[in-house]
Structure 1
Amino acid sequence: MTRIESTFAQLAKEEKKAFVAYIMAGDPDVDTSLELMRGLPEAGVDVIELGLPFTDPMADGPTIQAAGQRALEGGMTLDRTLQMVRDFREGDDSTPIVLMGYYNPIYSRGVDRFLEQAKAAGIDGLIIVDLPPEEDDELCIPAQKAGLNFIRLATPTTDDKRLPRVLQNTSGFVYYVSITGITGSAAAEAGDVAPEVARIKAATDLPVIVGFGIRTRDSAQAIAGVADGCVVGSAIVGDLASGKPVEEVLGFVRALAEGAHAA
């Protein structure tokens, strides 16, 4: 079992929903992002999604785009991101880490070399948004063989014909994108999300976690209430970007986690 699978098994045993938090590696600088990352588990985060900065983040909205740019300007690289994970693992060997990003940096590194380094650093899963199921042989299958979960996105436009292909080699959990468009662009509505989550769950035994458009404790609770949990990214990244100290940002994360866990 990966850390991701173990975490969801334990949450299911406790009849508890998952709270997943996204942060950008190296935003606004390595020390601050590592301090934030280290504080997430105590704030109630069950799974950490760690963004890998990239120059052309096509699926990300302005908030996360800006975070990635700040990280890149500060010298963040794939190597430094992996080091950040290693540093985190010195004090936490149980919280799952999912690396979320784009294929170009991985391709440039070389798939086999990247997977070996990612596994050794302590990464548990990958979300690579620009690799469709038709490209599973490129990274998805090698990642699974290396012991990493490969988490796929399903969206409101993933119809019944497409869904089985999306789910075919997915592991860990399914990430349902609650809205069409980019991150941080609209608010998620539980009434719209619920039937889509039910449709996906009818086709897979994997947990279904909902992200995009969740910004408050109440919305985290509402969305987690119709799924197996929720993801918050832009709201956390934006809170950090506002200049608040890490402790205040962690207070906001704690409120979001309490909402999800209360569902």
Structure 2
Amino acid sequence: MTSRIDARFAALKAENRPALVTFVMAGDPDFDTAQEVLAALPAAGADVIELGMPFSDPMADGVAIQLAGQRALANGQTLNKTLDMVRTFRKGDQGTPIILMGYYNPIFIHGVDAFIEDAVDAGVDGLIVVDLPAEEDEELCIPALKAGLNFIRLTTPTTDDKRLPVVLKNTSGFVYYVSMTGITGAAIKNRAAVGEAVQRIKRHTPLPVAVGFGIKTSEDAEKIGRDADGIVVGSVLVNAIAESLENGKATRVTVPAVTDLVSALSAGVKRARA
């Protein structure tokens, strides 16, 4: 059976354009607003959605995404509520892939088997768990794959040709190439090097390669999209939410702040190979 992720990347390949993958934090700034943002993303131009599972001690996240997680947790967001968000989204959208992105601790506490069952039931398509290396695949990756969830792995500029096959062995859906060493939200210094890295990864796998970390503008999306099969955008969207708040609360401009940006980024990926 073809997964939603496989189907979406195949459709976009036929259109000769990269996917726009958008990251937002579940429960940020509050449950209802986050649900509204999630529902609005596809129409704004998001092809694939990464939904962050807030966690108190993130390792790979820059300040913007850390703060988003803190806002969500302060407003009572839980893993069960994140799964509920996906369930609600699926009532109106059966086509857009949703990937849960986060850390292993909340999943471990929930219980791996229960989490996988609940995620599949909610309509989740894939997982990105940034602190589980390939050596720990038996822990979550293999059971998730058996249940029909894609398991998306991160590769970085320091993942050499010797390490790549290990990382890619049980990767499915797509490969997430982190465009720099460091944390989310920094700036890409060398776009040409990103293109070379994408080609290097493609020599090891038939999977699509999506590039994330450091993509902020429509121009970034257009240029990186010439080489990549997908563009992942997160910090700039989470920042837009933060900047729309008044006294920490959502305002009437919170949802449009995100969707306007997504529309601009979507225009960028559509120009990438035009």
Give the structure-1-normalised TM-score. Answer: 0.98
Aligned residue identity for 1:97: I
Provide the aligned C-alpha RMSD in A: 0.8
Aligned to 1:203: 204
Count of residue pairs the alignment pairs up: 263
Q: Is the 8 A contact 1:184 1:212 kept in 2?
A: yes
Q: Does 1:30 align with 2:39?
A: no
- Equivalences for 1:185-196 in 2 at 5 Å? 185-187=186-188, 189-196=190-197
In the alignment, what sits opposite 2:267?
A: 258
Q: Secondary structure at the match of 2:185?
A: coil
Matches within 5 A, 1:67-82: 67-82=68-83
Give the superposition deviation at 1:189.
Answer: 3.4
Letter in 2 for 1:260: V
Q: Distance in 2 between matches of 1:156 and 1:225?
A: 19
Distance 1:214 1:259 in 2: 11
Partner Cα separation in structure 1 for residue 27 and residue 188 of structure 2: 27
Partners of 1:104 and 1:188 in 2: how far apart?
A: 33
Distance in 2, Cα, partners of 1:150 & 1:39: 25
**One-letter code of the match for 2:41?**
L
Cα separation, 2, equivalents of 1:239 and 1:86:
25
CA distance, structure 2, for counterparts of residue 241 and residue 205 of structure 1: 38
1:197 match: secondary structure: helix
Gaps of 5+ in 2: 245-252
One-letter code of the match for 2:138?
D
Structure 2 Cα separation of the partners of residues 52 and 262 of structure 1: 32
Give the aligned partner of residue 53 of structure 2: 52
User: Structure 1, residues 95-140: CA drift from partner, whole Å, max 9, x if none?
Assistant: 0000000000111111111000000001000000000000000000
After superposing the two structures, state which structure 1 stretch, 133-142 or 221-230, moved more. Answer: 221-230
Alignment of 1:1-263 (within 5 A): 1-187=2-188, 189-243=190-244, 244-263=253-272
Contact 1:188 1:214 in 2 (8 A): no
Corresponding letter in the other structure for 1:245: T
Q: Distance in 2 between matches of 1:108 and 1:200?
A: 34
Cα distance, 1:188 vs structure 2: 5.3
CA distance in 2, matches of 1:214, 1:52: 21
Is the Cα contact below 8 Å between 1:96 and 1:123 reproduced in 2? yes
Which amino acid in the other structure matches residue 250 of structure 1?
A: T
User: 1:8 and 1:163 mapped to 2: Cα distance?
Assistant: 22
The separation in 2 between residues aligned to 1:188 and 1:76, in whole angstroms, is 35
The answer to whether the Cα contact below 8 Å between 1:19 and 1:261 also exists between their aligned partners in 2 is no
238-247 or 186-195: bigger deviation:
186-195
Alignment partners' CA distance in 1, 2:166 and 2:39: 36
C-alpha change, 1:188 and 1:224, in structure 2 (3 Å) is farther
CA 1:190/1:55 → structure 2, altered by over 3 Å: closer, same or farther? Answer: same
Q: Using the TM superposition, give the Cα deviation of residue 15 of structure 1 relative to its aligned residue in structure 2, in angstroms.
A: 1.4
List 4+ stretches of structure 1 deviating above 6 A: none
TM-score of the superposed pair, with normalisation by structure 2: 0.94
- Distance in 2, matches of 1:199 and 1:190, equals 14
Query: 2:49 is paired with a residue of what secondary structure?
Result: strand
